[in-house]
Structure 1
Amino acid sequence: MAAALDLDTLLATHAGHVALVIGNGINRHGGAASNSWEALLMKIAARCGIPLPKVPQGTQYTEFYDVLGLRSAGATSDLAAEFCELMAGWQVLDHHRTVVGWASRHAVPVLTTNFEEVLSEAAGARFLGTGLSGFTDYYPWQCRFAHDLHLDPCAGFGIWHINGMARYKRSVRLGLSDYVGSAHRAREMFHRGGSQLFRAKDPARWAGARTWLHLFFNKPLLFLGLALEENEVFLRWLLIERARYFRKFPRRRQPAWYVYKPEAGNLNEAGKLFFLQGVDVTCLAIRDHDAIWASAGWTS
């Protein structure tokens, strides 16, 4: 069941409190429908000698990418670099500026699954964070694009890249193996060692307190432009862990909303909504994608 709430109201009532989680839908809107990950994967597949019109049904994008890595003569990092190079021509559009402008005005953090820097270019933000301890270009989770550096990720505006960023090719998470690696790294912070999240008496003091993971567990989340289907293994696992964390610490509970356009004939949609509602995410149906990116709420 979709929530009896509209996006305009949600943006108005949660400005300054929510964190946005933005997927590639923002890049495909406004006459740029060709900016799809599947289209990029098909180009790489052709160069690997696997000419296909689309990813075969029954194969997830992540699995397809891993197969390309196995078929390629080069390293997987070379494929990641090629994938990012194909994004180099993606342009900043008005709705990019509108969304990140709202986020900047209200000190709202932005989490994105995208690799390119379109959102940070739209915001005029600079790259920050490599000077912090524990930096690795495999998992630059402490880095963000912002106007000012806040040690507490929740303290102000910043654009954080969940699955890596184009400037660090080894950080790009595209395959199922990549997602498993990210989950393993996050799990170490959640459940192992002396500063684990699930034993932290002070939620501001744990191993991931300076990373984007801190936002994920300490802010209300608003998911936009994300399919959140079965291939999003890492994000869906994080939502399970988030729900478990709030059951252990109910006073720390934060809401989450998933905005989506219902797809007629999509047999998997009911299962996805069942999963999201099961991990305490409120699902908000909209009539079309203009209702997201052209929402009057962004002008507040």
Structure 2
Amino acid sequence: MTLDEILNTADNRLTLIVGNGVNRYANAGNTNSWRDLLLDMARRHLPEHAHDFPTGISTTEFFDVLSLQAKSSNADSSLQKEFCKPIRGWLSFDHHRRIVDWARHNNSPILTTNFDTALSQACGAILQHVTTEGFTDFYPWSTYYGHGPLPRPSEGFGVWHMNGMAQYHRSVRLGLTHYMGSVQRVRDWMHRGGTSRLFSSERAIDTWRGRSTWLDAVFRNDLAIVGLALDEVEVFIRWLLIERARLYIKFPSLKRKAWYIDTNDHTATGKGIFLSGVGVTPIMESNYDGIYAASGWKV
């Protein structure tokens, strides 16, 4: 299949997972760079390593090192706030609007790993909540950008921020420690709590604690993943895909499809082994225009 075919034949149970690639395509790369933001922070806090990320350390670990060097009890929160401030100036471009227009037209949720509001700005979406019960600005997972109320995240358009949003700086997942916290939180919802846990029965997908969060759109819908490296540093999302596959093995009636769209052939790579192992089909486009300017986005 191609991305065009997926977009033209998918039912309204398709979730788009959009990574940082959308902010590196065309003119967006000149304004929307979270890597540059981290390097700018390094110039202030670790100037000896500010020229580029050194080999042997991931970007998430790099943030944890910055936090450790700050040597204060609220270092994480201060760095997160510092990181989010310039993000408010990031811009939307034509390809942001194409993706969002398709999702709105097809009533499909967008889950993004990005912290900025370029996607929601592209359609004038505003902050909404499925529920405010138990709300925390550390994990605002029932909060999205949209145009009205949603009965549940998997059943309508909204822009959801998987790794946190600049609106709530404490929610932004930048360090490995942050990722591990997210894993721990979701694992409890999946595997603890008797009949309220996701893995307790087929019917639990309609009642578990993650039902009102963006997690609902991961486990209940087909997935099309674009602009996401999905490499080893993406510990949280990779783990979610593993758990998704385990859920479908236990309850085959819940199974949904997934595609990973990229410009590289991952067939003989470790990433290819991972994708096939968790039930995600790789789709290779010849270039980035084939992803962000695909005719399938037209509505």
Bin of the TM-score, shorter chain as denominator length: over 0.9
Q: CA deviation at 1:284?
A: 0.6
Alignment of 1:148 with 2:148, yes or no, is yes
Indicate the SS of the match to 2:187: helix
Q: CA deviation at 1:126?
A: 1.2
Q: Is the 8 Å Cα contact of residues 38 and 55 (structure 1) preserved in structure 2?
A: no
Indicate the SS of the match to 1:208: helix
Paired residue type of 2:108 = V
**1:248 corresponds to which residue?**
250
Indicate the SS of the match to 1:145: strand
Structure 2 length normalisation: TM-score? Answer: 0.94
Give the alignment partner of residue 25 of structure 1, picking from 21, 44, 53.
21
Q: Which moved more, 1:289-298 or 1:78-87?
A: 78-87
The whole-number CA distance in structure 2 between the counterparts of 1:269 and 1:149 is 44
**1:197 corresponds to which residue?**
198
Paired residue type of 2:12 = G
**1:289 corresponds to which residue?**
288
Give the alignment partner of residue 222 of structure 2, picking from 220, 223, 229.
220
Give the alignment partner of residue 61 of structure 1, picking from 59, 62, 67.
59
Q: Is the 8 Å Cα contact of residues 257 and 284 (structure 1) preserved in structure 2?
A: yes
The whole-number CA distance in structure 1 between the counterparts of 2:207 and 2:199 is 11
Q: Alignment identity in percent?
A: 46
The whole-number CA distance in structure 2 between the counterparts of 1:288 and 1:71 is 40
The whole-number CA distance in structure 2 between the counterparts of 1:31 and 1:201 is 45
Indicate the SS of the match to 1:82: helix
Indicate the SS of the match to 1:239: helix
Q: CA deviation at 1:39?
A: 1.6
Indicate the SS of the match to 2:127: strand
Paired residue type of 1:208 = G
The whole-number CA distance in structure 1 between the counterparts of 2:175 and 2:218 is 22
Q: Is the 8 Å Cα contact of residues 15 and 108 (structure 1) preserved in structure 2?
A: no
Gaps of 5+ in 2: none
Indicate the SS of the match to 1:110: strand
Deviations 1:172-194 (CA, angstroms, capped at 9, x unpaired): 10100000000000001000013
Give the alignment partner of residue 229 of structure 1, picking from 228, 231, 234.
231
Give the alignment partner of residue 257 of structure 1, picking from 259, 265, 271.
259
Runs (4+) of structure 1 exceeding 6 A deviation are none
**2:127 corresponds to which residue?**
127
**1:108 corresponds to which residue?**
108
Q: CA deviation at 1:269?
A: 7.9
Indicate the SS of the match to 2:186: helix
Q: CA deviation at 1:22?
A: 0.3
The whole-number CA distance in structure 2 between the counterparts of 1:222 and 1:131 is 26
Indicate the SS of the match to 2:29: coil
Q: Which moved more, 1:31-40 or 1:209-218?
A: 31-40
Give the alignment partner of residue 11 of structure 1, picking from 7, 18, 29.
7
**1:70 corresponds to which residue?**
68
Q: Is the 8 Å Cα contact of residues 140 and 164 (structure 1) preserved in structure 2?
A: yes
Q: CA deviation at 1:130?
A: 7.2
Q: Is the 8 Å Cα contact of residues 87 and 166 (structure 2) preserved in structure 1?
A: no
Q: Is the 8 Å Cα contact of residues 38 and 54 (structure 1) preserved in structure 2?
A: no
**1:41 corresponds to which residue?**
38
Deviations 1:13-60 (CA, angstroms, capped at 9, x unpaired): 015221000011111111232433322111100110334322111211
Indicate the SS of the match to 1:64: helix
Aligned residue-pair number: 293
Q: Is the 8 Å Cα contact of residues 163 and 172 (structure 1) preserved in structure 2?
A: yes
- Counterparts in 2 of 1:172 and 1:14: CA distance versus 1, 3 Å: same
The structure where helix makes up a greater share of residues is 2
The whole-number CA distance in structure 2 between the counterparts of 1:201 and 1:161 is 26
Indicate the SS of the match to 2:38: helix
**1:277 corresponds to which residue?**
276
The whole-number CA distance in structure 2 between the counterparts of 1:204 and 1:148 is 21
**1:117 corresponds to which residue?**
117
Paired residue type of 1:199 = S
Gaps of 5+ in 1: none
Indicate the SS of the match to 1:127: strand
Indicate the SS of the match to 2:259: strand
The whole-number CA distance in structure 2 between the counterparts of 1:200 and 1:186 is 17
Structure 1 length normalisation: TM-score? Answer: 0.93
